[in-house]
């Protein structure tokens, strides 16, 4: 029997696009039922395109502050979702020996490639929608 998830941490490289998207979507989808937080292997800058595509879903990420695993105020989570193999390895190192379930959801970085702003926005939307679908499937609606 799978235990109920009450807390989840999302990790990507810079905590500026994928992991904050997941945090915001999780909070909107599940409210107080699941505590969500996010971090990165490194702390990047706030990404304006991430803020814009999240606003399209009614989620305000304009106050997001990137943090690293070392900066987390709460280090205990039921589930950790990593969006890259490197983030997964970092999570495994930090949460080794705990009951934390570590999931790796390989998700492309929407900034890769030479694109115009419209194509870049579509990449961001695709990543956002992919993450939203995975959240609904894994944690229920």
Could you give the dihedral angle defined by the CA atoms of residues 58, 39, 91 and 70, in that order, rounded to the nearest 10 degrees?
-160
In a 13 Å sphere around the CA of 12, the CA atoms on its Cβ side amount to: 22
Residue 7 DSSP SS3: strand
CB distance 40 to 11 below 8 Å: yes
CB distance 23 to 36 below 8 Å: yes
Query: What is the torsional sign of CA 5, 7, 10, 16?
Result: positive
Angstrom distance (rounded) from CA 15 to CA 4 = 26
CB distance 52 to 72 below 8 Å: no
* Domains identified in the chain and CATH numbers: 7-139 (3.40.50.2300)
Question: What are the pLDDT digits (tens) for 105-133?
Answer: 999 999 988 678 899 999 999 999 999 99
Range name among 2-6, 69-73, 87-91, 132-136 with the lowest pLDDT average: 2-6
Predicted TM-score (pTM) of this structure: 0.93
């Amino acid at each position: 029997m799978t235990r109920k998830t009450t807390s989840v941490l999302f990790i990507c490289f810079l905590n500026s696009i994928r992991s904050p998207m997941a945090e915001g979507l999780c909070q909107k989808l599940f409210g107080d039922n699941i505590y969500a937080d996010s971090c990165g292997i490194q702390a990047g800058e706030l990404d304006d395109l991430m803020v814009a595509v999240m606003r399209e879903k009614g989620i305000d990420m304009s106050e997001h502050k990137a943090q690293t695993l070392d900066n987390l105020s709460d280090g205990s989570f039921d589930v950790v979702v990593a969006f890259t193999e490197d983030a997964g390895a970092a999570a495994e190192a930090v949460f080794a020996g705990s009951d934390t379930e570590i999931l790796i959801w390989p998700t492309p970085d929407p900034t890769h490639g030479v694109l115009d702003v419209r194509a870049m926005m579509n990449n961001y939307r695709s990543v956002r929608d992919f993450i939203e679908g995975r959240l609904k499937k894994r944690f229920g609606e």
